[in-house]
Structure 1
Amino acid sequence: MTTNATASPHGDYIAYMKSGYLLKQSIRRREPTTQSACKLPLDAKVSTLKWSADGSQILINHDRGLQVVDSKHRSSRVFLKNGTGGLGRVVTADFIGNEHLLVVWEFGKAKLWHMNSGKAVDLPDFKTMCDGQTWQVRPGNRSPPLFAVLSRIGAEDHLSLHFPSLRQPPPPSKLPTIDAQSISWSPDGRWLAVLDVPTASQSLHIYTPDGHLFRSYPSAKEAELGLGIKSIAWSADGRVLALTKFDGLVELLNTKTFTRIAMIEHSTTIYQHDVEKEYRAPVWQEAVSASNERSYTPQQQPFSPPLSKAKAGSEPQDLGVAEICFSCDDSYLATRDCRMLNTVWIWNMATLGAHAVLIQHSNVRRLKWHPTRPDTLMVDCAEGFAHIWNVSSREPPLPIPTGGLAKAKLTWLEGPTEAKPIIMVTEPSRFHLLYPEGQDELSDPISRRPSADESEQYDEGNSEDSLFQVLSGRKPLPPKTQPSYTQMVDLEMEGEDDLDGGLDDTFREKRKAVQQVPMEVDPLDDSEIF
């Protein structure tokens, strides 16, 4: 039984838990599945697995604590014990760079651990009660990394910008918000957006990377009657900021002056009366037969998509725009409206007009653009099918059976631009890979490349009796680049036999290193690292 499968940042490996062990499986190379030397208790409940940004480490979050495993050497690097659980469960834990670990407990306690020294910096008044993301690392390969954190001191919101190398957190800056809901860096790292509750007169605040307020939106002159901003989405190049509204509108802002470029509206009736018939956006509607065969038929304008509910709801999640996402090169924008959850709108960002409309048989659960192909969109309706559509073509989407449960999670895997697309189908107890266009030929491991002389000497394909020549002594054995399966099993068993003693020695050595520097101890904190 496998659980918590997750792909590496570059899409080369998949890490998953099986029988208490962490396993790593290669996707694009002929490599055996590797197993970590450490084992969790069988009754430990693993909640999440996370890779570091460079793919060198894997974080295991379970009910007993946190564990960081070196993905290359398969050894445990850090173990953070949750103690008696006096701080509550761990709400979130993630890597900050390659040397630091951010841990947040449910009662507002947060610490930034240095994994080499075991020292921690307290992040007081960390905000946990909000709808969106309360912290985020600034994008880009910057060293040291900079991350922004929302905090709540009394009845006021504050913003802090941290460098992990600092032993003391910098003083926070007060925000002009009522109850900040999320923060979001632009992909180029030039701007930091802070989103307030929609009832605020100015619910969006734009900050520079040094923490200075640049612009609040909307201004007093731009204020209009409406239900406020629901969420935000940056374009891939950071030049456009999309605001979704509770009234079903989408505002597009340029990120130089943060003024409006265009307004997108989801109409209940699709009719481009001012566009010639041959240039109108196609409308494709999915039909399902009694034998579960799926097909798409074009619809003529005017056309009214079916409503998701006979009566509109009053809850915030039932109002406005349900989802919005840019393609990887910002050529297209895909949106959904809460009134028509089975309808997908595709907008052309060059013309700021409708490109196409897809009407699915069931409500859409998630839209996923391919990470490197700007014209490939996956529509997930939680029906056991992945609807793959080439946006630039005039053909309808192609429904592909996933071979998994209806509620299985579908995600694209990262990879080279020239590589064929791969979809990871994840279920609670297993996972598998789906290849919509077929599988690329697996490459050999790059751990060691033989020289030209070695390649000629040990090229087994040049002779049909190469094995006979080796056995008869006429030809030497080819160089070994990897241990055999039996040797790997023996090494793993030896690692298990020496596990207890090795941990005791490591524990004593780490304790000595930590005790050399006097540290102020929080009497309410009973967590331990190492």
Structure 2
Amino acid sequence: MDISTLLQGSHATTSPSGQHLAFISNGNLRICSAHAPEQCTDIKIRILAKDMIAIKWNDDGSHVAVVSARNIEIVDLDDASHRVRLDNGGAGLGRFASADFVGKTQLLVTWEFGKAKLWNLSNGRGVELCDVKTTCDGESWQVRPDRSNAGRRTLAVLSRPGADDLLNVYTPDLHKQLSSVRIPTADARSLSWSPDGRWLAIVDSPMAPLSVHFFTPDGHHFRSQPTSEDSSEGLGVKSIVWSPDSQTVALTRYDGRIALLNTKTFTPLATIEHTTTIDQRASPAHQQAPTWQEAVSASGERSYIAAAQPVSPPLSRTKPSTEPSELGVAEACFSCDGSYLATRDERMLNSVWIWDMSTLGAHAVLIQHSNVRKLHWHPTQSDTMMVDCGEGILYMFNASSSSPPTSLTTSMVGSAVLSWLPARSASDSTILASTKSCFTLMWPEGRPDVPEYERAVSQEAADEPFDEGASEDSLFDVLSGRKPLPPRSTQSYTERIDIEVETEEEDSTTRMDDTFREKKTRIPEPLDPLDDSDIF
């Protein structure tokens, strides 16, 4: 396994294509290539690092938004001098709670007190979305997947103007509301589109008799679950998980069961239960799922043994809990093609069940030495899963083989969060391990080689002196080696412009500042930071 050098930076976020990373370092926004993270391009920003909340990419990876509680700064990577800034003004509606791209040129901004606004970055116009639910457990809005690549998408938003929940459907590019439907929920907690965009599911309060409602894309109610035959006492559905092929949906419950439904009629296919004792001795040998248990020696060496059945995984808590977040299914996730489903139970957080969707039976059980923090299926390899136990160790498991998981020690501390980068091919396997202050990239199958043409262009660009020229060059050209970095002896354009021209506020709360080249007044002398005469 190849590991990159440890890079200092916070909020490391990958682009949708997985080719680039954005992070904050020394007060600058840095963009680097996923295959060569040591080579970075710095972009000066005005938001302090301590105030930052997140970094967000748009769909095609051409814009990056740096989000803070009071300001949002959007950088065009094709022209770094072009900036769009959102200023919260007097913060009459509270701080910025979140900001996410809707497509390529739309930015949805929400405030902590419930207001939301959809900004068009190309023309500076904003459309208010009233009474958006900001206290949901999951997503209160989501963009419909566009499998046809038509470019026009619809946005589904949960709102609550009064005593009832509403489902609002918008077309962001046309600034038009298609429908607003009152939904039969007591207190909707989240919504999600199926991967093919044919269905919209809304999860209700777990105490409601019908916990999940399925709608068509135009907002018509189709069916609710569980039915009267499937209902039971206690809390209902905890969350839903769609299979990548949109053929199956899994409903996780607070009683530890998982109901699998087909997405044509939403009728039950099977019910999965996590037992505290694994005993398959009554089943034929070819139907018994192997149970691998991790063992740690006194010297710290880790290995796996085939546990003899019956085996009882250790319980995570000695006393039963009454908190809803600590009951039922802790996690459920499908592999990239939907052939496997990995699950965990809140009672046994160190145990991972893997189910074969073709047979609807148990495929394997992994019992870790420590509690599992997160499960990650490979983005393109359907049988490869990474287990993160929060110990700075990679556990890789191949579901199609009969071998136990393999452990790979990393150089990161135990608090590092592990995740796969989006892959462009089946052979592209890159893992991001990040903490609050640093990160590194890992390649379990070896770091991919840079193509010959990129190496040739990079070498040719390195031999040429830097010439800024009259036109703006893309940052992607710099990252790929088509243009060398400018010398640091002179300040960059954005560093020379440290004065923001006050523009007329579009409303009393938020203003949008669009900064262009040659439209700023140059100040020959530096400003006094203690001069607050403009305040009065």
- If the length of structure 1 is used for normalisation, what is the TM-score? 0.87
Output the CA distance in 2 between the equivalents of 1:277 and 1:212.
48
The letter for the 2-side match of 1:61 is: V
User: 1:281–1:354: 8 Å Cα contact kept in structure 2?
Assistant: yes
2:32 maps to what in 1? 25
Equivalent position SS for 1:103: strand
Q: Do structure 1's residue 390 and structure 2's residue 405 form an aligned pair?
A: no
Larger displacement relative to structure 2 (62-71 or 230-239): 62-71
**Structure 2 contact 454–481 (Cα < 8 Å) conserved:** no
Between stretches 299-308 and 372-381, larger displacement belongs to 299-308
Aligned-partner SS, 1:317: helix
Does 344-353 or 27-36 show the bigger shift? 27-36
In structure 2, the partner of 1:198 is 206
Given the alignment, which residue of 268, 278, 288 partners 1:280? 288
Distance 1:349 1:42 in 2: 48
Q: Does the CA-based 8 Å contact 1:82-1:528 persist in structure 2?
A: no
Q: Is the CA contact (8 Å cut-off) linking 2:167 and 2:183 kept in structure 1?
A: yes
What secondary structure does 2:418 align onto? strand
Match of 1:48, as an amino acid?
A
Counting matched residue pairs gives: 487
1:52-106 per-position Cα deviation (integer Å, ceiling 9, x unaligned): 1111111100233101111233234310011122211211110111111100000
Name the structure 2 match of 1:115: 121
Measure how far apart 1:5 and its partner are. Answer: 0.7
Residue pair 1:86, 1:526 contacting (<8 A) in 2 also:
no
**Gap runs ≥5 in structure 1:** 459-479
1:129-181 C-alpha deviation (Å, 9 max, x unpaired)? 12111000001234222110000111110000011133454552111000000
Over aligned residues, Cα RMSD in angstroms? 2.5
**CA shift at 1:221, angstroms?**
4.3
SS at match of 1:107: coil
Question: Which residue of structure 2 lines up, in the alignment, with residue 352 of structure 1?
Answer: 360
Kindly state the Cα deviation for residue 449 of structure 1 after the two structures are TM-superposed: 7.1
Q: Is the 8 A contact 2:47 2:71 kept in 1?
A: no
Task: Give the Cα separation in 2 of the matches to 1:302 and 1:42.
Answer: 56
Quote how far apart the aligned CAs of 1:400 are. 0.9
How far apart, in 1, do the equivalents of 2:398 and 2:323 lie? 35
Q: Distance in 2 between matches of 1:410 and 1:30?
A: 17
Q: 1:78 aligns with which of 67, 74, 84?
A: 84
Secondary structure in 1 matching 2:222? strand
Question: What corresponds to 1:429 in structure 2?
Answer: 437
Alignment of 1:29-40 (within 5 A): 32-36=39-43, 38-40=44-46
Match of 1:96 among 83, 102, 108: 102
Q: State the Cα deviation string for residues 177-202 of structure 1 (Å, max 9, x = none).
A: 00000000000000000110111111
Kept in 2, the 8 Å contact 1:121–1:168? The answer is no
Report which of the two structures shows the higher radius of gyration computed on alpha carbons.
Answer: 1
CA contact (8 A) 2:86 2:510 kept: no
Aligned residue identity for 1:18: S
Contact preservation (8 Å) 1:121, 1:169: no
C-alpha offsets along residues 480-519 of structure 1, whole Å, 9 cap, x if unaligned? 974444x3546x7241454247x54xx66xx6xx9xxxx7
Residue deviations 1:207-265 (CA, integer Å, cap 9, x gap): 11111111112233443334310110000011100000111101000000000000111
1:154 matches 2:162: yes
Are the counterparts in 2 of residues 66 and 80 from structure 1 also a CA contact under 8 Å?
yes
Give 1:11 shift: 1.0
Q: Which secondary structure does the structure 2 equivalent of 1:111 belong to?
A: strand
In the alignment, is residue 4 of structure 1 matched against residue 4 of structure 2? no
In 2, the alpha carbon distance for the partners of 1:139 and 1:499 equals: 40
CA distance in 2, matches of 1:529, 1:43: 20
The whole-number CA distance in structure 1 between the counterparts of 2:349 and 2:132 is 35
For residue 250 of structure 2, the aligned residue among 205, 219, 242 is 242
Contact 2:69–2:97 (Cα < 8 Å) also in 1: no
Contact 1:67 1:76 in 2 (8 A): no
Q: Distance in 1 between matches of 2:481 and 2:56?
A: 30
Q: Which position in structure 1 is the counterpart of 2:528?
A: none
Partner-residue secondary structure (3-state), 2:493: helix
In the TM superposition, 1:424-463 aligns within 5 A as 424-443=432-451
Q: Is the 8 A contact 1:158 1:172 kept in 2?
A: yes
3-state SS, counterpart of residue 405 of structure 1? coil
Q: Check if 1:493 corresponds to 2:491.
A: yes
- Paired residues for 1:11-410 under 5 Å: 11-28=18-35, 32-36=39-43, 38-42=44-48, 44-140=50-146, 141-167=149-175, 169-170=177-178, 172-410=180-418
Q: Separation in 2 of the partners of 1:224 and 1:208?
A: 27
CA distance in 2, matches of 1:78, 1:484: 26
Paired with 1:211 and 1:255, the residues of 2 have a C-alpha distance of 17
Partner Cα distance (1:484, 1:327) in 2: 41
Gaps of 5+ in 2: 1-7, 461-479, 515-536
Structure 2 counterpart SS, 1:35: strand
Q: Partners in 1 of 2:218 and 2:176 — Cα distance?
A: 17
Using the alignment, how far apart are the partners of 2:510 and 2:120 within structure 1? 17
CA distance in 2, matches of 1:231, 1:481: 45
Distance 1:30 1:369 in 2: 23
Shift of 1:386: 1.2
SS in 1 for 2:491: helix
Distance 1:216 1:418, change over 3 A: closer
CA-CA distance at 1:416 after TM superposition: 2.5
